[in-house]
Amino acid sequence: MQFENNLKVPMASSFSQLTIIYFFACNIFILLASARTCTSCYTSIFGFGDSLTDAGNLIHLYPPDRKPHMYFPPYGKTYFNRPTGRCSDGRLLIDLIAQHYGLPLPPPSIDARDGRNIQAGINFAVVGSRAVDAQFYEKRGMYDKVTNVSMWDQLEWFKQMLPHLCHNPSGCKKFLESSLFLLGEFGGNDYTHSLLSGKNLNDILPIIPVVVQSIASGAHELVELGAKTIMVPSVLPFGCASSYLTYFESWNEDDYDEIGCLIWPNEFASYHNELLQKELHRLRELHPHVNIIYADYYNAAMQLYRAPRRYGFLEGALVACCGGGGPYNFNIFALCGIFPATSCEDPNQYVNWDGYHLTEAAYRWMTKSLLEGPFTYPPIKNLCPFGINEAQVSQI
């Protein structure tokens, strides 16, 4: 807003002069407020979850001479120019959410245990983590060859870290109340590893309420610790992942929807999401002063699969950018990062990265839809309406 240097203000009562001063002060305040980032909303972010969230914890659980495939190129090529342990070509949802609110990328918890760089947040997620402890599945003959870490292990790590985050009860209360907690995604590995252990859908359906109840109990645990804003994501549409499309390929056209996704995995994913929303609603009634937010990862991703060109992606969004060949470029014997798997030239044109996970470009659209659009309930944009733009993000 510009004003002429020779602007004349008529002499008036002291009340009128105060009104004019107030007008100028208000306009200056509005201009400053619109230019600032949203760091006043959340002072830190804490993440829990699986491969959709892990920023590098898994490698510390492997022997020094053995590295999982996501620790080799082309992982990390888009943003970091090197593998970081993230299961994508670049940033993940938690990274983009943090940057949206003007926060640095939360470091992996195992790297952060030396006490540095933890005040702005920590990422406790581990690739392969499940919502329910491993013993529950092992009793039922369901095994996970990636990791036995569960959501409850990650919450325990967070509790062990609390004394280093806040040194007295009053300071801890304020710190936790101003933090954003991302609890998940959880559930994907609970179901995928059960299916890959040879169980069928009838074996999986009774597990879904157990998984959902565990996630809700984890959110309750964070509330009891003092958290005031908790985002709990849904699971993704499993039937659109090129891994599922390869594992469970069918000759029956009726098993697929109009865009080529398998119907039955998406139906049990939707069942999980429906139960999760009901549990979160119950938690809101128990804790009316806590912001418990449902993050609809499922539909935020489905919009990309349904209309890829609208978002700048190539047609054929079900095909992975990086993989070992086949109709969906997924091969369990040649995973991304392992010879002879190859990678597409431009991951920004692909929704699917490696058969299980999405590209940074897809995560960017999902983050925008979650934080600025219709895919959180209650809408997180009403709790924190200001973010920073993409140019500012690139400078963080």
Catalytic residues: 51, 354, 357
d(CA 296, CA 31): 33
Q: Which two tokens stand for residue 224?
A: 């009891």
Q: Please spell the DSSP secondary structure of 56-123, one letter per residue.
A: S-GGGGS-TT---GGGSTTTTTTTTSS--S-SSSS--HHHHHHHHTTPPPPPBHHHHTTSSS-TTEEE
DSSP 8-state code for residue 175: H
d(CA 28, CA 241): 50
Comparing CA positions, the residue from 120, 118, 114, 121 lying closest to residue 47 is 121
Question: Any idea of the CA torsion for 359, 361, 362, 367, to the nearest 10 degrees?
Answer: 120
d(CA 45, CA 121): 5
Q: Give the sign of the dihedral formed by CA 321, CA 322, CA 327, CA 330.
A: negative
Q: Which two tokens stand for residue 182?
A: 């991302």
What value does the CA radius of gyration of the chain take, rounded to a whole number of Å?
23
Which neighbouring-strand residues pair with 262? 256
Q: Which two tokens stand for residue 137?
A: 């599945």
